[in-house]
Structure 1
Amino acid sequence: MTLRSPWGRATLAACLTAVTGLSSTPAQASAPQVKTQAPGYYRYMLGDFEITVLSDGTVPQEVEKLLHAPPAKVQSLLSAAYLTSPVETSINAYLINTGTALYLVDTGAGELFGPAGGHLVTALRAAGYQPEQIDAVLLTHIHGDHSGGLMMAGKPVFPNAVVYAHQREAAYWLDAANVAKAAESHKPYFQEARAALSPYVAAGKLKTFEGNAELLPGIWTQEAPGHTPGHTFYVARSQGQKLVFWGDIMHVAAVQFADPSVTIQYDVDSKAAAAQRAKAYADAAKQGYTVAGDHVSFPGLGRLKAQGKGYAWVPVNYAIPR
């Protein structure tokens, strides 16, 4: 059965306009779509430490061409996460305010990815800080999407900061003799590393370390070589709470949490990288501490729990710091 108005369409439309103030004329868009995000920052309290996640942007990745796994398997795991390739991959960095010092873990890509990256400084300022306030930059490794943000427009972005990197990491990327021995796809990374770090080296502001030890008050180093020769986790501890900054222990969450054995072309040593990932996942799931992933969807903070032969990612619960 069809319901009909006893008044007729014209009369009904006039009544509706009079009562609601709404015209029956189709609405027109009054402005173009903006298609931007707000400056990306997110606060998280770790004991007495304030952690601010900073988004440098997202970059599309054709992951089925990068991961060492059958494309059909990659497609299946992406589909299970409601994703398709190319996958927009987050570039995250992390600011640690201990109350007495500001430490920045990784710097984003700077100008290396064009408009896809280079948003870290905007996010930093929106979060209430200035680049000149950073006391130390802690590099998990020296790939361009982690160290490229050290330089912008030919100038050091963090002029008052000391830059820390593992001794093996600095030695590998800053030694020109290693270029010839590197895989062809990795060779541009050496030039990017020198461009990012040279001004800090010249100013005596690059400091290296080895081993697992307290590097700065409340911040420990944890060696995790494989992805690169000196790839390092940083561990922040405050009031009995622990946060591990993972750097590039993984790149594609939908695939590498479900199957940690899957490696990626970006690894300098894929076998060692897979072993470090297996160890890191198992420890995080067993201990239940929070981890920070540079390429996990922003803000990249969460915990792991074992699930079948892999792991499930549990993002941190959203909260307003108090």
Structure 2
Amino acid sequence: MSISHAKLTAPELSQLWEDCLSDSLILCKLRHFEKHVEDEDIAAVIQTKIEKTLQHMALIEEKFHEIGYPIPVGFNENEDVDVKAERLFTDHYMLEFLRQLGHISMEAYGAAIAFSTRSDMRQFFLERLQDAQQLSDEATNLGVAKGYVSLPPSLPIPPKPDFVKKKSFLTGWFGERRPVTGREITFLFSNIQRNALGVATMMGFAQTTNSKTLQRYFQRGKDIANKHIEIFSSILKENDLPIPITWDTEVTDQTSFVFSDKLMLYQTIVLNSLGLGYYGLSMANSPRHDLGVHYTRLMAEIAQFTEDGTELMIDHGWLEQPPQAADRRQLMNE
């Protein structure tokens, strides 16, 4: 049997299923952006992403039809977004959302290719990786040209190669702390940017939901993201390094319905789940003890916040069952 005709494996099926949900959510957000964007250059990036997303959704549904797998309900433009509602976010926010979406997608599809065994699925994820890279390139180039993107700091050039001579290289809490390394700066800087977009997103969600419970939840998310920004920024400041710009001012005063509570809550959970993985990667690339402790503590906080959000999704009957292994005990009892 050709490997392209073998059954979809757990990693392949799970990635397609998650794509189906996330694509439908992203399309709802992009439709609202498309309606309100004013900058022609940013509008062009949004339009390209809409076209790519529609293509991807059609291909995924085709794969599901081939194997007889039910297509997730996901999100739709009739129930989960009011494209005619007043804009909630500025063009500046829209571009940064697209830029970070490109980054997240590149990470996801790089892993999907590595975990896939069917040749056709590797090719499918490779094409999506290329689309994500194109989105990241376009949004980053445009953001830099318009002065929207904070450039990471540069580093001094040493006169010659050197080696670590003291175990104090690992010191973080006690003794003289060494300057942060380039890799540590990379993740500190990026984590501030991700959390800054999260603060703006939670602000917009909190002021447009009619649910007091979700309003408190989104406000809590905003507070958590702000605290994490303060911690990471303090480390950069200690090393006389620049801090990325924030996005608080990119949220309008809109308070009526724009996105459904289901969409906003699901996006919050997904972003925090991705954040957990990124913090784990950050910790692995940060040998200074205090940074590792920070990441460990902050990961626990995000994990609890994500779990609470997942329970809210279940309480409202909004959480779709992901692909999972067969329940052998249940099968034996039938």
State the TM-score, normalizing by the size of structure 1.
0.29
Bigger relative CO (Cα 8 Å, ≥ 6 apart): 2
Instruction: State TM-score, norm by structure 2.
Output: 0.28
Please state which structure has a larger fraction of its residues in helix: 2
